[in-house]
Amino acid sequence: MESIKVNGMAGTTQLDAVNTMLSAIGEAPVSSLSSGLIEAEIAETILNTVDREVQSTGWHFNTELNKTFAQDTAGEIILPANILRADATLAAESPNLVQRGLKMYDRTNHTFNIGASTQLDVTVQLDFGDLPEVAKRYTTLRATRIFQDRVVGSNTLHDFQLRDEALALAELKEFDKAADDHNIFDNYDTYSIIDRQGRRTL
């Protein structure tokens, strides 16, 4: 199956990533994610887990600042299922809010009843296909190492894969830093969320 092409450039799909993982253990590629091959199912599960882990770090490409969330009829702020992390902005009327599950909790007043709309800085889980290629590459290589370790357990392959993974992470961090450098001096909130969340620590 061919990769989707956007503006003439091939974009890595989940299927591409799973087939990369399968090739690392000597398995033939599959034509779909519903092939029924047990190794492909294991690979997809690991890929999804690693994808969520990597995105949870909070990168420039999946962080949204000063996003307004309205309260529901009970006065609660209910977050969408794809929100991985949420923090009140420094300018919020109730800055002492924390995420608990898919709700925001007011630690000052000890309640989920926020009572008003509020602005949050959020980390969003994007679909795999919407990630920058550099993020797809790191996620795929990290998932490949974990998959190989669990299914085959070759120390030699582990060492090679770990080096590839480290290089991919360095490229991702450089990509993310370059994106931040374009905005950090024009947007104080960008700097503050980076500093507060302590991201880029994978």
Coil, helix or strand for 63? strand
Strand partners, 69: 118
Please check whether residue 114 is in contact with residue 104, taking contact to mean a CB–CB distance below 8 angstroms.
Answer: yes
Coil, helix or strand for 191? helix
Helix axes 155-181, 133-151, angle to 10 degrees: 160
Q: Any idea what DSSP says for residue 76?
A: B
Quick one: pLDDT at residue 163?
97
User: 3-state SS of the chain: helix, strand, coil percent to 5?
Assistant: 45, 20, 35
The token pair that represents 96 in the structure block: 């002492």
Quick one: pLDDT at residue 45?
98
Q: Any idea what DSSP says for residue 113?
A: B
Task: Please report how many Cα atoms fall inside a 13 Å half-sphere around the Cα of residue 165, on the Cβ side.
Answer: 20
Coil, helix or strand for 84? strand
C-alpha R_g of the chain: 20
DSSP element (H, E) containing 64: strand 63-69
Helices (H), 89-187: 133-151, 155-181
From first to last of the 202 residues of the chain, give the pLDDT tens digit: 444 443 434 589 999 999 999 999 999 999 999 999 999 999 999 999 999 999 999 999 999 999 999 999 999 999 999 999 999 887 666 668 999 999 999 999 999 999 889 999 999 999 999 999 999 999 999 999 999 999 999 999 999 999 999 999 999 999 999 987 656 545 545 445 445 455 555 6
Quick one: pLDDT at residue 113?
95
The token pair that represents 175 in the structure block: 């990509």
Closest CA to 138 of 59, 84, 195: 59
Neighbouring residues of 95: CB distance < 8 A, sequence distance ≥ 6: 88, 89
